[in-house]
């Protein structure tokens, strides 16, 4: 019997924890770190090996994944005093966070000086997709590094898209995706509130949209799952969406690409953050619009 593969995972939040969970198995020894002892304990209780720092994970794992909340945290985990760059075993670092092209470029350059390859591999599908293993993975990096990470990536996601050999292309694709989702959510929420104010039944509105040209992930999944029943538990926070939209607009500015429509959508997400909603589920943004209009977009019998 061959020795188990040594894999590391850093960042065990709403996305990281279920992705790391999918890597557990008899053929893998999973090494984990999270600054939250509670988050780390959920994985160690399931069979992972806990460590005191990213560097400690990289001392024993040849392949290390990171899923983190911001560019600053990602850079510190990769290149900081206790970062994976000082690890003795690591050969490939897979950055799954959404951090923009500049940050991933700095990480890739810094790790390369230590002989460590970087795979840029942000994901889409939210916490439900992470739990189900149905995420879309947007991967970019040197072919040999992608080959090392491929089997693990395919345990995490349903589809792995190879976007090129340069870290940063995965980030660009993820930001394109999230700009589309952010604008779709903003426009769909506004339109549904209008329809409810005009007397339409919310559930019927969603059924009609899903049989018509207004159909999108927002109408097929997000609204039926988290808004019509009043659960507001899709998983990602308003702060995360605001961060991704801000990163996307910064990329557009750096490339001199006008973003007339997306700049308007970004204002709504930023306003939600300023209203104390940054830690709320992203679906709760519709509640601001409902309050202004004096209506609710809920199924009959759903709680307010």
pLDDT in tens, 23-55: 999 999 999 999 999 999 999 999 999 999 999
Q: Show the tokens assigned to 78.
A: 């990769």
**141 shares a domain with 195:** no
Q: What is the DSSP letter of 302?
A: -
pLDDT tens track for 59-107: 999 999 999 999 999 999 999 999 999 999 999 999 999 999 999 999 9
**117 shares a domain with 264:** no
pLDDT tens track for 131-147: 999 999 999 999 999 99
**179 shares a domain with 138:** no
As a whole-number percent, the residues of the chain with pLDDT over 90 amount to 95
| Domain final position from 137, 167, 197 | 167
What gap in Å lies between CA 2 and CA 152, rounded to an integer?
Answer: 17
| In a domain? residue 249 | yes
| In a domain? residue 298 | no
pLDDT (0 to 100) of residue 1: 36
Q: How many domains does the chain have?
A: 2
| In a domain? residue 113 | yes
| In a domain? residue 163 | yes
Residue of 88, 174, 197, 296 with catalytic role: 174
| In a domain? residue 23 | yes
Q: What is the CATH number of the domain that holds 68?
A: 3.40.50.720
Residue 74 CA: distances (Å) to CA of 19, 97, 162, 174, 239: 17, 8, 22, 16, 17
**pTM score, whole prediction:** 0.93
The model's confidence at residue 304, banded by pLDDT at 50, 70 and 90, is low
| Domain final position from 118, 138, 167 | 167
**192 shares a domain with 57:** no
pLDDT (0 to 100) of residue 3: 63
| In a domain? residue 278 | yes
**21 shares a domain with 119:** yes
Q: What is the CATH number of the domain that holds 214?
A: 1.10.1040.10
| Domain final position from 167, 202, 232 | 167
| In a domain? residue 279 | yes
What gap in Å lies between CA 41 and CA 50, rounded to an integer?
Answer: 8
**199 shares a domain with 69:** no
What gap in Å lies between CA 201 and CA 97, rounded to an integer?
Answer: 38
**198 shares a domain with 52:** no
**222 shares a domain with 126:** no
pLDDT at 2 over 60: no
**271 shares a domain with 135:** no
**230 shares a domain with 148:** no
Active-site residue, 243 included: no
Mean per-residue pLDDT, 165-194: 97
Note the Cα 125 to chain centre separation in Å. Answer: 8
What domain range includes position 138?
A: 5-167
**220 shares a domain with 124:** no
| In a domain? residue 300 | no
**177 shares a domain with 135:** no
Contact 184, 216 (CB under 8 A): yes
């Amino acid at each position: 019997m061959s020795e188990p593969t040594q894999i590391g995972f850093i960042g065990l939040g709403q996305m990281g924890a279920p992705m790391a969970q999918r890597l557990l198995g008899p053929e893998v020894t999973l090494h984990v770190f999270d600054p939250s002892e509670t988050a780390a304990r959920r994985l160690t209780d399931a069979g992972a090996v806990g460590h005191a720092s990213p560097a400690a994970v990289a001392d024993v794992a040849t392949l290390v994944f990171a899923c983190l909340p911001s560019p600053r945290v990602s850079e510190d985990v990769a290149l900081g005093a206790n970062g994976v760059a000082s690890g003795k075993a690591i050969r490939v670092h897979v950055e799954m966070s959404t951090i923009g092209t500049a940050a991933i470029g700095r990480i890739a350059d810094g790790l390369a000086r230590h002989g460590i390859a970087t795979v840029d591999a942000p994901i889409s599908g939210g916490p439900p997709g992470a739990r189900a293993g149905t995420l879309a993975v947007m991967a970019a990096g040197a072919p040999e590094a992608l080959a090392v990470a491929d089997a693990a990536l395919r345990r995490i996601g349903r589809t792995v898209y190879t976007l090129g050999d340069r870290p940063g292309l995965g980030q660009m694709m993820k930001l394109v995706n999230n700009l589309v989702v952010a604008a779709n959510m903003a426009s769909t929420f506004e339109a549904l509130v209008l329809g409810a104010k005009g007397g339409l039944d919310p559930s019927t509105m969603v059924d009609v949209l899903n049989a018509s040209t207004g159909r999108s992930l927002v109408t097929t999944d997000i609204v039926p799952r988290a808004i019509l029943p009043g659960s507001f538990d899709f998983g990602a926070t308003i702060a995360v969406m605001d961060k991704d939209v801000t990163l996307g607009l910064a990329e557009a500015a750096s490339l001199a690409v006008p973003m007339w429509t997306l700049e308007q959508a970004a204002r709504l997400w930023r306003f939600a953050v300023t209203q104390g909603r940054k830690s709320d589920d992203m679906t709760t943004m519709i509640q601001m619009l409902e309050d202004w209009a004096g209506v609710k977009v809920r199924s009959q019998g759903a709680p307010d």
